[in-house]
């Protein structure tokens, strides 16, 4: 089968929005690259989870967007949602800091599982800029087309929806601000929750209560950040 005939398994609402992207030359090249990569390398997350963020959070349901960079590159970690790990996988340090901030902000105790599907199902799009990575090689799929694709996702959300809360943590995510219409949407910025930067402006940012206040003011359902 030719790669041009391969269609990602993605929620129908996103399929309608992104069908133009799937036909673009850059996306066809990206698929060719991934097929070649899989012949000689282990790729994370597993193929069926690459588009998990979209399948858990349909286009019409998106009210909050959190932008990450790379999927986790350790075995069993990446599950297609930025910052999230599957049940039973130890939480990486950035995710621990996210839950520490939630505990400080909202009083919720740090949970046992770092699986954020529960957020995604409520309308929080957990979007990595790159949707795949080689095992144990962070950044290995940068510059292959994923950034073009996910930038387009952000632009479609900005253009076609209203009142989304974008949480931009760290310089990489904040560079995406130029893709967002700030007159229609709400942008909250803070340092990255990584241990290297969390105490330079992430801890104490109160983005979780602020996001809920913005949603509530629009008569939208608040997120249960447990």
Give catalytic residue positions: 70
d(C-alpha 154, C-alpha 98), whole Å = 22
Phi, psi of 211 (to 5 degrees): -60, -45
**Tokens at residue 218, please?**
């629009």
Closest by Cα among 150, 122, 174 to 27: 150
For residue 124, the 8-state DSSP code is E
Angle, nearest 10°, between helix axes 146-160 and 12-22?
Answer: 120
């Amino acid at each position: 089968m030719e790669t041009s005939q391969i269609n990602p398994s993605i929620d129908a609402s996103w399929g309608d929005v992104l069908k133009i992207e799937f036909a673009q030359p850059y996306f066809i090249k990206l698929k060719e690259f991934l097929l070649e990569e899989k012949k000689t390398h282990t790729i994370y997350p597993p193929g069926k989870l690459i588009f998990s963020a979209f399948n858990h959070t349909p286009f019409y349901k998106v009210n909050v967007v959190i932008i990450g960079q790379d999927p986790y590159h350790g075995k069993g970690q990446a599950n297609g949602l930025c910052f999230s790990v599957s049940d039973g996988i130890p939480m990486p340090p950035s995710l621990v800091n996210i839950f520490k901030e939630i505990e400080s902000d909202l009083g919720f105790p740090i949970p046992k599982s770092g699986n954020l599907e529960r957020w995604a199902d409520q309308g929080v799009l957990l979007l990595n800029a790159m949707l795949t990575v080689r095992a144990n090689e962070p950044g290995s799929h940068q510059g292959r087309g994923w950034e073009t694709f996910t930038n387009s996702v952000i632009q479609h959300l900005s253009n076609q929806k209203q009142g989304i809360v974008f949480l931009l943590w760290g310089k990489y995510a904040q560079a995406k601000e130029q893709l967002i219409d700030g007159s229609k949407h709400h942008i909250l910025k803070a340092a990255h929750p990584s241990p290297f930067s969390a105490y330079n402006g992430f801890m104490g940012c109160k983005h979780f209560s602020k996001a809920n206040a913005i949603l509530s003011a629009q008569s939208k359902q608040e997120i249960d950040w447990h």
